[in-house]
Amino acid sequence: KAGVTQTPRYLIKTRGQQVTLSCSPISGHRSVSWYQQTPGQGLQFLFEYFSETQRNKGNFPGRFSGRQFSNSRSEMNVSTLELGDSALYLCASSPVLGYEQYFGPGTRLTVT
Amino acid sequence: QQQVKQSPQSLIVQKGGIPIINCAYENTAFDYFPWYQQFPGKGPALLIAIRPDVSEKKEGRFTISFNKSAKQFSLHIMDSQPGDSATYFCAASIGGATNKLIFGTGTLLAVQP
């Protein structure tokens, strides 16, 4: 099976812009979670989706949002970008909730 | 209570040595404890995971030891190789209705030839 894929892999944006990141889970996986990874804060949970419903949300401002489509693919959006949003954004998928999660390679976002 | 404390921050061992990475948690509702390995420029890769009903789990050269009463768990890498040089993260979650993982701060492991 193909692994979790994320696009784009690298992105450079300017403060104030918005960005949309995409995640395609492993075939058959219905749960997708998003994490932000920075050197200072480590790996932090953003949100998770299962069957197109957001099941849980981390402690991030409302500028961070996401959605899941009927084919389990997911997108996350960050509006009004700030310099501190520069990070590696990771997507993970699992067959159902409470099961092993497998991460994609991430999208490296740089905000200038 | 949601934290997972990981130590050491970095570790250097010789090839063939047995690095040990430790994690501790407070939330007794956690019932799923995975370990991830991350190489530079890559996403974390699931290595091995354990649930509190067992005290030890082995997969290849990787072993998790779990102490429920002490709320601690650790990763042992047997016969470590230079290719094991990576950052290792422990994590915890409340299984069942969520996949939300609380991660430790990571351990940078260097295995010298």
Q: Percent of chain B having pLDDT more than 90?
A: 89
Q: Note the pLDDT of residue B1.
A: 63
Q: Note the pLDDT of residue A85.
A: 98
Mean pLDDT of chain B: 95
Interface size A-B, in CB pairs within 8 Å, comes to 65
DSSP SS3 for A14? coil
Contact: B101, A90; criterion CB under 8 Å: no
Q: Note the pLDDT of residue A97.
A: 77
Distance CA A37, CA B103 (A): 10
B94 CA: distance to closest CA in chain A (Å): 8
Q: Which residues pair with A88 in a beta bridge?
A: A37, A108
Whether residue A106 lies within 8 A of chain B, CB to CB, comes out as yes
pLDDT beneath 50: ranges in chain A: none
Contact: A92, B99; criterion CB under 8 Å: yes
pLDDT at B2 over 70: yes
Distance CA B9, CA B6 (A): 7
Contact: A103, B98; criterion CB under 8 Å: no
Whether residue A94 lies within 8 A of chain B, CB to CB, comes out as yes
Concatenate the DSSP letters of all residues of B5-43 into one string.
Answer: EEE-SEEEEETT---EEEEEE--TT--BEEEEEE-TTS-
Q: Are A99 and A76 in contact (CB under 8 A)?
A: no
> How confident is the model over B59-63, as a mean pLDDT?
96
Name the interface residues of B facing A (CB cutoff 8 Å): 32, 34, 36, 41-46, 49, 89, 91, 93, 95-106
Distance CA B74, CA B79 (A): 16
Distance CA A97, CA A29 (A): 10
Tell me the per-residue pLDDT of B77-108, one tens digit each, with 9 for 90 and over: 999 999 999 999 999 998 777 889 999 999 99
| Class of residue A2 by CB neighbours under 10 A (exposed 0-12, middle 13-18, buried 19+) | exposed
Q: Note the pLDDT of residue A2.
A: 83
Sign for the CA dihedral angle at B90, A21, A2, B86 comes to negative
Distance CA A103, CA B46 (A): 8
Q: Note the pLDDT of residue B96.
A: 72
> How confident is the model over B21-46, as a mean pLDDT?
95
Tokens of A27: 């075939």
